[in-house]
Structure 1
């Protein structure tokens, strides 16, 4: 396998650093216009900047649009299920290209730094930076291993002049996992508990141990462990417990207000990507409804499974029976519970049509002051339509949107609900484009709640059900759920299978739109959950025939306003005149293929996976 030419790479990095630092004092180089790459390893600032480049490329950001990969959301106007979701198995479309760029960077970094003298860099700092590099090497390897199984293990800088040394065969999955865990253990041993000041956000001990727990959780799960080897579950449990203990000791914990996790430095963030203007910002226009956005819209619109997944405030599940929606009393009680009786995470994650949109836009739908008017993402029956509470598809010949913007050529979203989680509520639509674009909310690729969820899952699988319930209870308490007489915050499961289901459900709502759901379904080998749903369903808020259109001071949270509406289920949001898309995920392909072009370059070193006609077994 061919890898990045290190001399060219480090010269490029050095030049970039020099351009960004040319005005700083203390940088004394022979020729700042043509830096000798070796000078990077004589200055602790440039050494750290090299590693910062790795951070920049690997620290995940908000996974906008990922909700459509599973049963969280839908993008655009529907009709866009992927081929894989529809059961189309294709060697190229479902292939992974092995990219060693960041492995190459981290190996080279460690090889260059390891023997530097104290006169260049403090030994403790050197060890810490090597620990950070080992974390990112483990992170990168796991990204490949979790997709295809074992990959070639390259742990030192390659010599581009020695062609034979570049040919490295796939290692077994078990060997790769062992190396990943070794890197993370060694990283945790030298990383500090936490950081402050300018170093806030760098990889800490809890992150290394938390990622170790995540890797071992996957390795114990049915995807990699179909025989349910209990030793793997015990290893994952011990790792999760150690991660929680390390996080507790470092001052991490559940941040009190779920909806505010994303807007400040706080104890929830084990790992964090900080967005700030002008150096590192992002644009949330894709998840905003049309009148409040600029340049993009209608991404990650919540669909029925997620809408129903959030429990009520007493911790009991949201009751939903589409066959009873035609009963007016049932329908109204459902709407009342749906809108007014959910746990705090529902309102922090999902914006509902018929409520005030939380950004400071004015001069939109009659707003004269920020957040002063209700925005109606809802529907009304057309005069010729016969009302029904269950519709086979989104048939716009039967109904139309009641947003006043529809009359001006804009359109309703496809579901009437939008992602609220992470939205920067301090900027209006004018600040979403050009030089002013500057959404500042942060993303947490690993947060304390995930550590508790991993502890709960591994505790349940190892017979420690009380510990699992305690971990879940902490999360549900933060969500505003009442403790109840049992003190278990609505958790009624007593058997291992029932508690397993409860943990699955808790992960679905706690981590919604954070990029976990599809990976969880794959890890559990539970694509059948999607296939059983058959289609992506929507919940429409439909104005009853004969009722006057609501005004922009009416609000669906008010009982009198709610009485004018009914809940209507749309059975297939992806059914159009030209398409009738349904879930049909293949249950015989759980690992990606290696891309044929990479195999053709080195067929002896890169055997294809068994699921794709090759001899390599990802389970070994």
Structure 2
């Protein structure tokens, strides 16, 4: 039974108790402890847990479908965000953020009242554990703001709304915020179990391992160039210690890399999952309609269509990088060799992350006679030399198939619920693993590299690549040729791009590394059009993995999928922290100070 289901039952039972007690007990002097009032929450342990469950429900992260924030995917032409294009200002929603204390307030209220709850209402053990879970979420919420803007006002107890002047709290230094976040996490780590004995009821609650892993994530970012441009080794040491401890705790608790990368998202409660938001229909369903190809979805479609940069990022089966030279695509021999490597010689993560035309779409949908089960969905291209234009060939291969075929021919495959048809697209039950063991490993390995522990750093890369089906090769290096810190650092940048593709990590990683230049160097958003050769055609029963069928195609480079040379990556390299919303500064009676990068006096590096 999933956690949220269990928590919903608890809330429903509490509400039922209200009805039963109020209908059975009468008398003017009766203290109706079942009434839904703030005071009565603290007289009933079930209601206390329901309050904590509400915090979980509001803060558990969901599936991120934001590939267009970086060089992972594109949804529609000319949709690149202003921030990515370098169009920024303190008043622009693309480059500012609002400090949101909604859940800080809820958590502080919860902790303050929980501390006063007597043992006759809630046992000391449950009280301590609930407080630890709440402190994790306070750290989580503060970090969500600090990583965007630097230091924020630290409010650690319920505020008196009647004392208006006390509500205007100045920003704490970033270092003070980090110290408080770490303190809350350390408090949680001391109390939380590595796993819950009643897994059927409590699976999904924050564990000691999740708190340790999150602490490692925080300190890794705090040690990275975004917050640590001077490369203070002490910060890297603190991050290394936290990440190494998280790895050790995870292993002791039974966590490990799932042996099959694709099945991380299809085998629930597997050993790789450390922090999870569980989804299931009908109470807490998920939907992947936005990333599905348009013929097989409804209400939204074609988001996260992979860009060329992501398609080429996945290494070959021997761990070596994909070789691509757009200037040689006109050579038939080079093009054929590239196509062979591209489709048949990639690591397992490519096939788990990317859907490509010429194979069956991985859902039960049928659109007869245009598309029937077992056939390939061909999202490929034809080129008209006379007009110099590409047209999508799907409507020719699948006459009458509905919808917009998209603009790349590739789609986001990762985690896609393969059990529901387009009619049931809102009934997905695929869980979101916010923290998985692979991240804990890579965080640890990255810290190790920055401290000169190259052996440890390389071993992590080898383990990650071994799971991806990459062969060891000569020297058991799994295709990693780097041996020194700078080269290994670049290897981590590439590995994280592949391992966490479409998991909402790419843009945050580039920002903490201060490597927007990786995006800017690409200019426009490039594509790879798999194009029918002149005079060639395929049928729905053919498959691009067949060499004879694949020979009917050639790979074509598309320089700008947006169709507009002015739409390109041009991120500002002088703005790394976001601005505070000007109206929030004015509402604070200017107690809140703007960041230096945006004309203010607050230094987020202090």
- Normalised by the length of structure 1, the TM-score is 0.91
| C-alpha displacement of 1:535 | 0.9
- The secondary structure found in structure 1 opposite 2:42 is helix
What is the distance in 1 between the residues matched to 2:347 and 2:471?
A: 9
| C-alpha displacement of 1:411 | 2.6
- Partner in structure 1 of residue 218 of structure 2: 215
Contact 2:448–2:457 (CA under 8 A) maintained in structure 1: yes
| C-alpha displacement of 1:409 | 5.7
- 1:618 and 1:208, CA in 2 relative to 1: closer, same or farther beyond 3 A? same
Aligned length: 586
355, 358, 378: which one aligns with 1:354: 358
RMSD: 2.0
What is the distance in 1 between the residues matched to 2:173 and 2:360?
A: 54
- Partner in structure 2 of residue 587 of structure 1: 573
| C-alpha displacement of 1:602 | 2.2
Contact 2:376–2:540 (CA under 8 A) maintained in structure 1: yes
Contact 2:18–2:34 (CA under 8 A) maintained in structure 1: no
- Partner in structure 2 of residue 563 of structure 1: 551
- Partner in structure 2 of residue 9 of structure 1: none
- Partner in structure 2 of residue 554 of structure 1: 542
- 1:114 and 1:38, CA in 2 relative to 1: closer, same or farther beyond 3 A? same
- Partner in structure 1 of residue 561 of structure 2: 573
What is the distance in 2 between the residues matched to 1:144 and 1:532?
A: 29
Moved more, 488-497 or 514-523: 488-497
Contact 1:380–1:402 (CA under 8 A) maintained in structure 2: no
- Partner in structure 2 of residue 522 of structure 1: 511
Contact 2:223–2:232 (CA under 8 A) maintained in structure 1: yes
- The secondary structure found in structure 1 opposite 2:555 is strand
- The secondary structure found in structure 2 opposite 1:84 is helix
- The secondary structure found in structure 1 opposite 2:205 is coil
- The secondary structure found in structure 2 opposite 1:42 is coil
What is the distance in 2 between the residues matched to 1:102 and 1:294?
A: 33
What is the distance in 1 between the residues matched to 2:179 and 2:570?
A: 35
| C-alpha displacement of 1:16 | 12
- Partner in structure 2 of residue 171 of structure 1: 172
- 1:534 and 1:125, CA in 2 relative to 1: closer, same or farther beyond 3 A? same
* Residue pairs, 1:248-397, within 5 angstroms: 248-263=251-266, 264-364=268-368, 366-368=370-372, 370=373, 372-382=374-384, 384-385=386-387, 397=389
Q: Does 1:493 align with 2:497?
A: no
- The secondary structure found in structure 2 opposite 1:272 is strand
- 1:15 and 1:445, CA in 2 relative to 1: closer, same or farther beyond 3 A? closer
What is the distance in 2 between the residues matched to 1:512 and 1:402?
A: 26
- 1:561 and 1:615, CA in 2 relative to 1: closer, same or farther beyond 3 A? same
| C-alpha displacement of 1:488 | 2.1
For structure 2, list consecutive stretches of 5 or more residues without a partner in the other structure: 1-6, 23-30
What is the distance in 2 between the residues matched to 1:409 and 1:461?
A: 52
* Residue pairs, 1:390-469, within 5 angstroms: 397-403=389-395, 404-405=397-398, 410-432=403-425, 437-469=426-458
| C-alpha displacement of 1:298 | 0.7
Q: What's the CA shift string for 1:19-66, capped at 9, x where partnerless?
A: 6644469975655885332221111111111011111111101011x1
- 1:242 and 1:563, CA in 2 relative to 1: closer, same or farther beyond 3 A? same
What is the distance in 1 between the residues matched to 2:143 and 2:277?
A: 19
- 1:398 and 1:510, CA in 2 relative to 1: closer, same or farther beyond 3 A? closer
Q: What's the CA shift string for 1:558-608, capped at 9, x where partnerless?
A: 1101111000010001125xx731111111111111111111122442111
Q: Does 1:73 align with 2:65?
A: no
Q: What's the CA shift string for 1:406-444, capped at 9, x where partnerless?
A: 755633211111111010001111112xxxx31011111
- Partner in structure 1 of residue 83 of structure 2: 84
Moved more, 84-93 or 217-226: 84-93
Contact 1:384–1:398 (CA under 8 A) maintained in structure 2: no
| C-alpha displacement of 1:402 | 3.2
| C-alpha displacement of 1:255 | 1.2
